[in-house]
């Protein structure tokens, strides 16, 4: 059986979860944060070493000003409430994407959170903020070209995930079947898992179901 060291999740469906219940989208986002908390508290039972979450894409700026503000507020609350537990659990927080354009107070909170958790050795929580995979690849390719050698290896070395284990499993919730500019390079040989479960309803049992399916797949990486 194959175990997944590095799992990534596109956490989709907060808005539809709220709409089905005739609730504001902001309530769906709040419940989505609760789902994140539930997974983090159960990571020890999964064997996952790195969990990467798509929290805010570079395209999310197209949403309404109120929704973007709500998402920023939830990120502040998450850091304030959950950082102590993340540190106590020995998790290292790593951010990918350009969060430098976020409000100044939030940038400081994120930087402090990464610094406080830097010595964590029990796993890594990667959060993608203002992240876009095409932009990441273009930046890495430009850096490789500037050094005079553009190869698969030099581009890979310039990615923000270069210090992480290869991506094993990418999960998307809510029934959508696309990658939405998330970890496109890293997902080259990752296994993909799509579920109709909306993100606020996603539990560790759903995660374990995805891991069980992953463990039964034969990964050939282009071979027979």
Residue of 12, 70, 82, 168 with catalytic role: 12
Which residues are within 8 A (CB) of 155 and not within 5 positions of it... i.e. 6 or more apart?
A: 137, 140, 141, 144, 185
Which tokens sit at 35? Answer: 């789902």
Give the C-alpha separation, 76 to 140, whole Å: 29
Angle at 219 between CA 215 and CA 224, to 5 degrees: 140
Q: How far is CA 43 from CA 33, 142, 203, in A?
A: 16, 36, 11
Of 2, 62, 3, 7, give the one whose Cα is nearest residue 183. 7
Residue of 14, 45, 60, 163 with catalytic role: 60
Catalytic residue flag (residue 205):
no
Catalytic residue flag (residue 60):
yes
Dihedrals phi, psi of 29, to nearest 5 degrees:
-65, -40
- Strands 169-172 and 91-96, bridge-based pairing: unpaired
The secondary structure of the chain in percent helix, strand, coil, rounded to multiples of 5, reads 50, 15, 35
Give the C-alpha separation, 50 to 63, whole Å: 29
Active-site residue numbers?
A: 12, 60
């Amino acid at each position: 059986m194959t175990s997944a060291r590095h799992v990534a999740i596109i956490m989709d469906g907060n808005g539809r979860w709220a709409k089905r219940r005739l609730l504001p989208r902001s309530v769906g986002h709040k419940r989505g944060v609760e789902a994140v908390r539930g997974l983090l508290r159960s990571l020890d039972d999964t064997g996952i070493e790195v969990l990467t979450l798509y929290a805010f894409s570079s395209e999310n700026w197209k949403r309404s000003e109120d929704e973007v503000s709500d998402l920023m507020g939830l990120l502040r609350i998450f850091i304030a409430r959950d950082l102590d537990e993340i540190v106590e659990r020995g998790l290292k927080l790593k951010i990918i994407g350009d969060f430098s354009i976020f409000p100044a107070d939030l940038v400081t909170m994120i930087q402090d959170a990464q610094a406080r958790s830097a010595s964590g050795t029990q796993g890594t929580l990667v959060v993608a903020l203002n992240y876009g995979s095409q932009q990441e690849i273009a930046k890495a390719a430009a850096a490789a070209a500037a050094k005079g050698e553009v190869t698969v290896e030099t581009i890979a070395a310039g990615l923000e995930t270069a210090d992480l284990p290869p991506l094993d499993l990418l999960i998307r919730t809510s029934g959508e079947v696309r990658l939405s500019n998330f970890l496109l390079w890293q997902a080259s040989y990752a296994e993909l898992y799509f579920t109709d479960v909306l993100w606020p309803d996603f539990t560790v049992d759903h995660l374990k179901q995805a891991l069980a399916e992953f463990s039964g797949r034969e990964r050939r990486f282009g071979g027979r």
